[in-house]
Amino acid sequence: MKKLKLYLETTIPNYIFAEDTPEKQNATLKFWKKIKTRPYEVFVSEVVVAEIEKTKDPSKRGKLLRVIEGLPLLELTESCRKFAEVLINEKVIPAEYEPDALHIALGVIHQVDAIVSWNLEHIVNIETKLAVRRICQKLGYGEIEIVTPEEVIAND
């Protein structure tokens, strides 16, 4: 069986420590356990690292960096930047949230099976999913799933 390739957007490591939202934290911890024991290839990117490095609390920043330590980084290529630009120009992602557009672009360009995120405002919502599907078709890229950790652990 082919290993599923998952790209983890920055909210995933963050919710491992989100004690203020126990439901999402619990789902994220179950997801984290599942990806460690099942046949998944899991990736992050320098965008994830850069966002984590902006964490003001040095203790939390260190914990977040340790969580993603050793995960392969998807390269932020010129193709990724151009795809993100299309997402912004077509008003799929607001310009001030460029990292969200870059997360989607990284997943699309590197042909992962799914982007996993808790960002329901800009990434995991029906409008974004449909727009990304339309843009992928128009530009000749394969389809990509955009899901929450709950969708990955749903059948456990």
pLDDT tens digits for range 38-97:
889 999 999 999 999 999 999 999 999 999 999 999 999 999 999 999 999 999 999 999
CATH code assigned at 117: 3.40.50.1010
Q: What range does the domain containing 27 cover?
A: 4-153
Residues 6+ apart with CB under 8 A from 55: 61, 64
Q: How confident is the model at residue 156 (pLDDT cuts 50, 70, 90)?
A: low
Total domains present in the chain: 1
What value does the CA radius of gyration of the chain take, rounded to a whole number of Å?
A: 15
Query: How far is 83 from 132, CA to CA, in rounded Å?
Result: 10
pTM of the model: 0.96
For the stretch 109-145, pLDDT in tens is: 999 999 999 999 999 999 999 999 999 999 999 999 9
